[in-house]
Amino acid sequence: MDISHLLTSHSRNMEASLVRELLHYSQQPDVLSLAGGLPDENLMPAYPELKQLTDSRQYGPSEGEKDLRECIVSIVAERGIQTSTDNVLVTNGSQQGLDIVSRLILDESSTILTEQPTYLAACQVFKLQGAKVQDVMSDAEGMSVSALRDAIEKHHPKAVYLIPNFQNPAGHCYSLERRLEIAALLDEKNILLIEDDPYRDLCYDNVDLTPISTLIKQAPWLYMGSFSKVLWPGLRTGYIVSCDAFSPYLVKVKQAVDLHTNRLGQSMITQFFKSGQYPDHVIKLQKAYKEKRDVMAEALNAELGDLIEFSLPAGGMFFWVKLPAGVSSQLVLTEALKDKVLVLPGTPFFPCKSSLDDSFLRLSFARVSPAQIHQAITVLAKVIRQLV
């Protein structure tokens, strides 16, 4: 049946997510997956008992449960963001946050600037609204300020989308100087900042984590967070904290999209925070993931150190590996999968066509054990050396 005449031009032109297409491979028990950004379920706490939770059987407020929003106010206050529950919106994961913001500000006449490379699912959401996504050159300290200034003057964007802490996929963490420079430029040009911060608590080294939103003096800003990487991703719970002007509009879009976020999941997260277990849980995550990060770095250096380039991520879940000249990331995926190792090519993380887009792999160390990391990197090294 041909339904193309029923689809909008934007939905017809949507590209499938490579991550989603590969997900069925990662669910096979004999495949070692370094592809997805999935947390380790062995590190997830048990769900609270139902009798400890508030009654969540009835419809709830579109903004989110008041108790959880109060927890979020406390969480972001520790990060330097002083706000009230009125400016907190609970979402179905930070992905819905991106969708709500996109519906609110983007259309066919809009341009949004992102890092190069950037989170592929964010680009999907922006493009679904018909917006043009323009990437801006980035380095180990974050988005280039001079390139950002040039892009603002050339493209007149509605917003700039950034992941300053342990960026997905590149893994870098912005320096404080870079954060200050970007905040000053956004103030000067009065450009909206969309700051995505889902990996913040997965920090393994001493780096600056100051939200750029706290450094902005007059430009509008939206700060997004998630509980998926640190608690239970299956509950799909995230949040947007906004400057005052945005709050009523965000709630209206949320009401139109799905009325409200799952109340039972919100109650579970609230109970966990109020139990006082969260700080120790984060320490546990940091210790376990740091060990895995170090194992992957050691394995990459031992097996491929003479051929590849990468930087040690100070946090998050990913290594961003530059392949030897002439080696295709797509071909590495195909060949490694024959040996039951799944990797993710860097291609979909480039919003605009680039000569580098087939030159990288994003490798996740989060869900595999140290022994499995060694096993997978050994296979990967064999494949890459055969392709050089």
Last residue within a domain, chosen from 274, 304, 331: 274
Q: What is the mean pLDDT of residues 244-256?
A: 96
Q: Is residue 85 domain-resident?
A: yes
Answer whether residue 208 is part of any domain.
yes
Q: Compute the 3-state secondary structure of the chain and give helix, strand, coil in percent, each to the nearest 5.
A: 45, 15, 40
Out of 24-33, 158-167, 201-210, least confident range: 24-33
Q: What is the CATH number of the domain that holds 145?
A: 3.40.640.10
Residue of 104, 113, 114, 61 whose CA lies nearest to 85: 61
Query: Is residue 210 domain-shared with residue 185, that is, in the same domain?
Result: yes
Q: How many residues does the chain have?
A: 388
Q: Which tokens hold the place of 387?
A: 């392709």
Pairwise CA distance, residues 151 & 162, whole Å: 14
Are 140 and 217 part of one and the same domain? yes
User: Side by side, which strands form the sheet with 192-196?
Assistant: 88-91, 238-242, 221-226, 192-196, 159-162, 111-116, 132-139, 142-143
Q: Is residue 265 a part of any domain in this protein? A: yes
φ/ψ of residue 226, rounded to 5 = -150, 150
Which of 243, 274, 305 is where one domain is finished? 274
Among 223, 262, 281, smallest CA distance to 94 is for 223
Which pLDDT does position 8 carry in this prediction?
82
Asked if pLDDT for residue 104 goes beyond 80, the answer is yes
Domain end point (choices 274, 298, 333): 274
| Cα–Cα separations (whole angstroms), residue 275 to 7, 25, 56, 244, 280 | 48, 37, 19, 30, 11
The answer on 215 and 104 residing in a single domain is: yes
CB 63 within 8 A of CB 263: no
Res 13 pLDDT > 90: no
| Residues 327 and 342 occupy one common structural domain | yes
CA distances from 114 to 142, 152, 331, 388 (A): 11, 11, 27, 32
Instruction: Name the token pair of 195.
Output: 């700051």
Helices (H), the chain: 9-12, 18-26, 66-77, 93-105, 120-128, 145-155, 176-189, 247-258, 263-274, 278-304, 329-338, 370-387
The whole-number pLDDT of residue 77 equals 98
pLDDT above 90: residue 15: no
> Same domain for 73 and 29?
no
User: For the residues 255-271, what does the mean pLDDT come to?
Assistant: 97
Q: Per mean pLDDT, which range of 15-19, 48-52, 96-100, 269-273 is the poorest?
A: 15-19
Same domain, 64 and 211: yes
Using one digit for the tens of pLDDT, what is the confidence trace for 317-345?
999 999 999 999 999 999 999 999 999 99
What is d(CA 335, CA 271) in angstroms, rounded to the nearest whole number?
Answer: 46
Report yes or no on 52 lying in a domain: no
- Dihedral sign for Cα 33, 232, 247, 222, please: negative
Calculate the average pLDDT of the chain. 95
The reply to whether 265 and 287 lie within a common domain is no
Q: How confident is the model at residue 20 (pLDDT cuts 50, 70, 90)?
A: low
Residue 7: pLDDT band by 50, 70, 90 thresholds? confident
When pLDDT is cut at 50, 70 and 90, the band that residue 6 belongs to is: confident
| pLDDT reported for residue 36 | 86
pLDDT band at 238 (very low <50, low <70, confident <90, very high): very high
> If you average pLDDT over residues 148-167, what whole number do you get?
98
**Cis peptide bond prior to 169, omega within 30° of 0:** yes
pLDDT score of 217: 97
Supply the Cα-derived Rg of the chain in whole angstroms.
Answer: 21
> 240 and 224 in contact (C-beta within 8 Å)?
yes
DSSP letters spanning 275-313: TT-HHHHHHHHHHHHHHHHHHHHHHHHHHHTTT-B----
The pLDDT of residue 21 is: 65
Same domain membership, residue 369 and residue 237 = no
CA 218 to chain centroid, in Å, comes to 26
- Asked whether residue 354 falls in the same domain as residue 247, the answer is no
pLDDT value at residue 278: 96
Share of the chain above pLDDT 70, in %: 97
pTM over 0.85: yes
Question: Angle CA(118)–CA(123)–CA(128) in degrees, nearest 5?
Answer: 180
Same domain, 206 and 109: yes
pLDDT of residue 19: 63
Structural domain includes residue 54: no
166 backbone φψ class: left, alpha, beta (φ>0; ψ -120 to 50): left
CATH of the domain at 11: 3.90.1150.10
Least confident interval from 36-40, 76-80, 230-234: 36-40
Q: Could you tell me the pLDDT band of residue 18, with boundaries at 50, 70 and 90?
A: low
- State residue 24's pLDDT score: 67
71 shares a domain with 38: no
Q: What average pLDDT does range 248-254 have in this prediction?
A: 97
Q: Which residues contact 376 (CB under 8 A, 6 or more apart)?
A: 32, 34, 341, 368
Judge if 75 and 198 occupy the same domain: yes
> Residue 5 has what pLDDT?
81
Which pLDDT value is given to residue 126? 97
Amino acid at 81: I
Of 165, 102, 114, the C-alpha closest to 138 is: 114
What residues make up the domain containing 40?
Answer: 4-44+279-387
Is residue 16 over pLDDT 70?
no
Q: What is the mean pLDDT of residues 78-99?
A: 97
Contacts of 78 (CB under 8 A, 6+ apart): none
- Residue 49 within any structural domain of the chain: no
In a domain, 354, yes or no: yes
Please state the φ and ψ torsions of residue 204, each to the nearest 5 degrees: -115, -15
**Residue 19 exposure: Cα atoms within 13 Å on the Cβ side:** 18
- DSSP annotation of 203 reads B
| Total domain count, the chain | 2
Q: Is the model's pLDDT at 3 over the cut of 90?
A: no
Residue 78 within a domain: yes
